[in-house]
Amino acid sequence: MLAISGGRTRAGRRASGDRVSITGVLNRGSDFAGLCRQIRDANLLDRRRGNYAARILITLGLFAAGWLAFVWVGDSWYQTIVAAVMGILFTQVAFLGHDGGHQQAFRSKRANDTIGIVAGDLLVGLSYGWWVDKHNRHHSHPNHEGKDPDIGDGVLAFTTDQVARRTGGLGRFMAKHQAWLFFPLLTLEGLNLHVASISALITEKTRRYRRTELALFAVHTVAYFGGILLVLSPIKALVFIAINQGVWGLYMGCSFAPNHKGMPSFPAKSDIDFLRRQVLTSRNVRGGWFTDILLGGLNYQVEHHLFPNMPRPNLRKAQGLVRAYCQERQILYTETGLFGSYAAALRHLHELGAPLRTGQPVAYEPV
């Protein structure tokens, strides 16, 4: 168990993925109120409409230019380069959908939702409604076992009890070697997002924008596959799709993986105040303007989790206030470099699989 103490920390100074002891941190919601006042006084929750207008125009302009380059290059193996570039641009467009889902860009919910639906359903083939629901549950309970869908049992095991439940040969093999398999599996994340989106759009019939999403998702599917097959021969088309979707999945996974993997988790029945629940489970990634663009602002994960609707360009400005506030209250504020964040996530996955590699019983703590 991890006692909550100390100030700023860096990767490697804490056992990865430890559960947090909540003794002494309950009923302290007023701590967050004080930080909120500082953020509001600094006007950091104000919309940045001009910034977002430019960001949207540039991103969508590059996206359109990428598809024009695809047509211009024609039936050539040089399309492998275009496929990789478009995988990167898919992710940048998805970041716009992320911002829309958090209502960051504009005051109007309809305007933000429009950004999200166009970016998600039409341009990259990701159901906006399904993703917002899943992502909001993650934001409400980050690294909270049984409540955070991002650490639910799946291909990878994120908790000791998930490892303990692995009885089949394939499941145990995956858990044993999951650190080595992590990045290769991310190349399939794009496919996973498409399949989950299709399933949600077909089965979840009460979503607000379901008909609009179905129509735009269908347009995306026809335009994507139809356009590729019109320009490329079948073999080149398959290679293009594999590279494009693989790069998109890898980039998406690498953008979200540093944020919480290997950070402390909470058992299912625990309770903890909002400020500590968000700060203790989140990891920031150090870097300058290039890192901000590369990770779509997700490198300010602590600030983003505390203020999900804060416009992306304001997160850097909020960081100093949040870090100082946490230090004053002896709340661990974790920040590391990009490669250090990947190392911490991989180390956590490797440690979880260790009992299966050594034949030792899993040290599993009931939730």
C-alpha of 113 from chain center: 18
Question: Rounded to an integer, what distance in angstroms lies between the CA atom of residue 323 and that of residue 339?
Answer: 21
Question: Rounded to an integer, what distance in angstroms lies between the CA atom of residue 89 and that of residue 45?
Answer: 27
Residue 215 pLDDT exceeds 60: yes
Q: What is the DSSP string of 259-310?
A: GTTTS-BB-TT----HHHHHHTT-EEE---HHHHHHTTTTT-HHHHHH-TTS
77-125 residue pLDDT tens: 999 999 999 999 999 999 999 999 999 999 999 999 999 999 999 999 9
Residue 25 pLDDT exceeds 80: no
Average pLDDT of 183-202? Answer: 96
- The pLDDT, as a whole number, for residue 357 is 82
And the tokens for 75? 């039936």
Are 306 and 333 a contacting pair, CB within 8 Å? no
Residue 227 CB partners (closer than 8 Å, separation 6+): 67, 70
Are 257 and 344 a contacting pair, CB within 8 Å? no
Question: Rounded to an integer, what distance in angstroms lies between the CA atom of residue 365 and that of residue 367?
Answer: 6
And the tokens for 28? 């302290």
Question: Rounded to an integer, what distance in angstroms lies between the CA atom of residue 219 and that of residue 79?
Answer: 23
Listed in sequence order, the DSSP H helices in 6-45 are 30-41
Residue 249 pLDDT exceeds 50: yes
Cα angle 58-256-262, degrees, rounded to a multiple of 5: 155
Residue 278 pLDDT exceeds 80: yes
Residue 5 pLDDT exceeds 50: no
What percent of the chain has a predicted confidence (pLDDT) above 70? 90
Residue 46 pLDDT exceeds 50: yes
Residue 266 pLDDT exceeds 90: no
- The pLDDT, as a whole number, for residue 20 is 47
- The pLDDT, as a whole number, for residue 257 is 86
What's the whole-number average pLDDT of the chain?
A: 89
C-alpha to C-alpha distances, 72 to 218, 302, 309, 349, nearest whole angstrom: 25, 43, 40, 44
Q: How many residues are listed for the chain in this entry?
A: 367
Listed in sequence order, the DSSP H helices in 42-176 are 49-73, 79-101, 109-117, 128-140, 160-164, 169-176
**Residue of 311, 300, 353, 321 lying closest to 47 (CA atoms):** 311
Residue 180 pLDDT exceeds 60: yes
Domain spans in the chain, listed from the N-terminal domain onward = 8-358
The better pLDDT of the pair 359, 225 is held by 225
Sign of the four-CA dihedral 13, 17, 23, 28: positive
**Residue of 78, 79, 82 lying closest to 90 (CA atoms):** 82
Question: Rounded to an integer, what distance in angstroms lies between the CA atom of residue 4 and that of residue 287?
Answer: 27
